[in-house]
Structure 1
Amino acid sequence: MSARLVLADEPGAWIDIDFGGRSYSARIDPMWLGAENLAGLFERPHMVRRLFKEADAVSLMIADPLGRRVIKLLETYLDAVGLGFRGLGFLCVGLENLDLLEVDLLRIGLDIRDWLDPEKSLSSRRIALLIADFKERPETQIGAKSFGIYPADKAAMVAAEAIAAHVDDENYRHRFLKSPDELAAEAVKAQEAKEKRKVIAEQRESEIVLAPVGEKSFSEASEKSRVALAELIASQRE
């Protein structure tokens, strides 16, 4: 990437693009399409024409009415603005995970609104670079999702793996190596086990104080406790 392109990367800037032997003028930031249209560029590549000045967009349409070269046009545009298809892919990751990206940006002092509004200072090219970096960092929200874990830095991951290596249970996984969904599921199971233990404790107390005299009556009164205990043991074996 040239320093000239970096310096030209300003809100509202235009760039000249050579295509099919002619020069056309287009917005340097594809966010001028709007977030929804930008996210759909892979499926609707013809939308790239909207980034060109009106007269140039008409010329491109007339020159290729069936859209046979629209993929090439999109590729040429993306390369010219310093993104490429790879960069567009990173932008789509960000748009699909705006809540995660917002947190990651806030932690480094950036506001996601400055990207979503193309008149603001945070360009799509810079966001693509940041997302590419986030995906390699498990301590970020975007990176943790990519690794399939809860956010944890690399040192924590190494420590978690070292701990796991000294645990006899081959199914053991440290919480640093588990995804948010896995941790949430474990929290639900822990709450269910807590409620079952409570039922057992309450039932045993009632058996002692309130159970009627007689072996049969006591057996019937303790059935609820036995069922809860069996469920608790079963859940702990899972």
Structure 2
Amino acid sequence: MRFDILTLFPELFDSYLGQSILKLAIQRGLVDVQTHNFRDFAEGRHKKVDDKPFGGGPGMLLMCPPIFDCVESVVALDDRPSKLIMMSPQGRTLDQRLVEELAEEERLIILCGRYEGFDDRIREGLQPLEVSAGDFICNGGEVPAMMLIDTVIRLIPEVLGDETSARYDSFSESGLLEHPQYTRPREFRGMAVPEILLSGNHEAIAAWRHEQSLERTEQRRADLLDK
């Protein structure tokens, strides 16, 4: 899968792309991540990409010309069909169902806003899928874009060391929160690992884990049970 990140601050992704699972996925050719700077498509000596909003108001808005030019140039770099995404607090909430949908795509092009956001004609003209990381505001779309990439790559075949790992995560196949897990030592500061996990009875362990998932979901996210 290919990700193209369109941003004013591509350097923010340097460290992120060089770490952990994503780094290995890139090295193995399972994932391709490219960054592109809106400012490279701006005109004039100062490469201006923003301006004051019509009608007044605080802050600056990203202008149409450099954003349209950047998107159209990036789309042309690869023949694979792509889905354009705009990170926006007004968009569809990023949940596991949406992650699964996006993981089916061959290529994702992600727009990262800054300042007071985008001129609305960018949304109107480019028709992106607007995606929100949650009901809060970030300084820009870069960190939410990293979250989106992180969640999607987990579902790409061979990215995770154990192909079953993603199936048992919270919100995945069962739609429930994940059951509690334990490792060595068997006892720590008076807290012991549940005996059922040491029994070797896999059927009983599976039943216990499902029961724990249900209980934890009911206590912490009862809304998920309604779904």
Q: Is the shorter-chain TM-score for this pair beyond 0.5, marking a shared fold?
A: no
TM-score (normalizing by structure 2): 0.28
Bigger-Rg structure (1/2): 1
Of structures 1 and 2, the one with the larger relative CO (CA 8 A, separation 6+) is 2
